[in-house]
Each structure stands twice: as structure tokens, then as C-alpha cells.
Amino acid sequence: MTRPVTLFTGQWADLPINDLAAKCGDWGFDGLELACWGDHFQVDKALDDPDYGKQRRELLERHHLGVWAIGAHLVSQAVCDRIDPRHRAILPPEVFGDGEPEGVRQRAAERMKDTARAAARLGVTQVNGFTGSSVWHLIYSFPPNDLTEIDRAYEDFADRWGPILDVFDAEGVRFGLEVHPTEIAYDFVTARRTLDAIDNREAFGINLDPSHFAHQFLDAAQFALEFRDRIYHVHIKDSRKRLDGRRSILGSHLNFGDEERGWDFVSPGRGDVDFEALFRALNRIRYGGPLSIEWEDSGMDRDWGAPDALAFVRKTDFPPSDVAFDAAMQASLRGAQDQFSPGHAGSSRAGTPHAGE
């Protein structure tokens, strides 16, 4: 089982897709997970132009790249979120509109339906993204939370995502939630609750990104094992904690890369994620899909970091064994026993007598 290594293009959307594809082809990536922003994959064009998906694939193929998934994290965030002026910076103008919250949420939901249709036209069956959350602001329970409001948030999530998933089902496409702080699911407990809220619909699964588990002190490998039937896609990203008694795990309202942050994203292999344990877990659940590098490291040049991350994944990922080592040993012993069993042509009793006989 060889897992393709791709690059998620979301953090590279300032580059035209032609330029980025050329870079990634030269670096040796197997493909790209195309972000639905910048000019990398444009949902409206994919629906308006019947040749758009074919042209995107041909562009990638010229650089020996494939595509197995697209990322719609920005628009999908607005489906359940408490909309505020920050969303203007991440949403297409036609989705943000006048900024009236419910209108934004409804337009985002319609765009996610279109994203499933566009993915099908591209010929991929995986869309990754976020869900947003109406209750993330209640993460710290003071003033004391009304727990019925938490219950209502999961009902709201199911009500808003149910019609979206109907379209995903109709198009033969699956959605992978990147379990992540600020989303309706951000850890083991909330992931179970999220799946229960939508009656474990097959169209809704998980894009597993271990970097969002590391600074929560959670085990991404154990998460893969528990949710093995829902691991639809995997991001490769790393996070490093710097908790020295002065830095806070809460981030202190500081930008990524700030020296005083208690944790930060770093290039894969340079943080706290145990990638060997993760790859062993992925082997155990027989995950054969892409390992998509989502490269984020504020302290490293990205043109140096992306090929370095690719080399790390190539070196660290390994296929599962197709035979248990003790079974191989036993098979070898059985072969030796058969060779010297009575009546076997190679045995001493069936061949020339010993000198003393």
C-alpha cells in the first residue's frame, strides 16, 4: 500500500496554480489537494464551464501530479458560525454579502452544495473543510454555560448540514471535517457527539490533522483507531508546545510565530506529533488515501520547508506488513520439518543410509 503524498494548496493561494504546480512537480509531490480559493479551484467556474475540471486535471498531469481531494475550509466555516466582521476576510464577496449573519450562513450552505457538484465534475470524491460552531465561544464555562444551549448547537449543526449532505450523497462525494478547535468537533468527545447528531451519515467523515491534537495533549493515533471507519483523508502538519511556565496553552491572542506563544505550528517532523505512531495506526486501519502536507511554519521559508516536509514523509511513512514475523518463522520451520520427514526425497531415511547402518 503506497499512499500518495500531496500538498494542500491553501497556504499557497497567493501563487497562481500554474506556478505552484510547476514547483510541486519539480519537488516530487504526487499531487495537490486544491484549495477552493485563489485561482486553484474555483467552484463557480467548475459549474459554469464544462471543460474546467478537465483543464485543471490536464494542468496537473503536465507536472506529473494527481488530485484526490479539494479543500473548502473557508466557506464551510461559515455554515454554523456566529458571523462577525472577521468572516469578510475569508469569504467570497457574494457569500458574505451584506454580512447579515443568517444570510451569510445560508449562502455558505448553498456554496457547499455547489462545491460537492463541482468536485464531482473534477472527478474527485473528497471535499475537506470545517463546519463552524455556534458555541465555540462557550468553551470556557464562566459565566456558567446553559448546557441546553450546547445541545441546541448540535441540533443546529445537523439541521444545517443535513441538506448539504443530501447533495453530497447525490453526487457521490464525501465531506471530511478537519477536527479542530473552533469547530463543532475538536476532540474525541465532541467528534462522537457530532457523528451522533447526524446519525453517522456515511457522507460525513473526518480529515484527520494531527497538529490540532498535539497542543490539546491528545493522541492522534488513538483517534485514528477509534474513528477508523470515518478517516476519509489525512493532513500532515505538526505542532510544538513551548510551555515553560511563562507561555500559555491558550495562545495569548498572539499571532502565529510570536516568541511568546505557548505553542505553534511547525514543519512536519519538527514538533510534538508522533508520526510513526500515526502511520502505524493508519496501517492498522488500512488507510490508503493521500497524506496531504498542510505546510505552516512561521519560522521557515516555505520553498525550503515544503520539499523538506515531503522528504520527511517519504522517509517516515512505511507500508504495513503482509505477514506476521512469527508466522514467517513458523513457515520456515515447517519447511525444514517437511524436508526431513519420513518419505521425503530429501530426508536421510529415504535417501542413502548413514555410514553406520
Domains of the chain: 5-323 (3.20.20.150), 324-357 (no CATH)
Percent of the chain with pLDDT over 70: 90
99 with 83: CB under 8 angstroms? yes
pLDDT band at 253 (very low <50, low <70, confident <90, very high): very high
44 with 329: CB under 8 angstroms? no
Tell me the C-alpha distance between 149 and 139, whole Å: 12
- Mean pLDDT across the stretch 251-280? 97
- Mean pLDDT across the stretch 86-106? 98
209 with 178: CB under 8 angstroms? yes
Tell me the C-alpha distance between 265 and 257, whole Å: 8
pLDDT at 321: 83
pLDDT at 302: 97
Tell me the C-alpha distance between 250 and 262, whole Å: 7
> Residue 215 above 50 pLDDT?
yes
What distances in angstroms separate CA 47 from CA 73, 116, 117, 206, 292, one per listed residue?
Answer: 19, 10, 7, 26, 25
Give 113: exposed, middle or buried? Use CB within 10 Å, 0-12, 13-18, 19+: middle
- Mean pLDDT across the stretch 98-105? 98
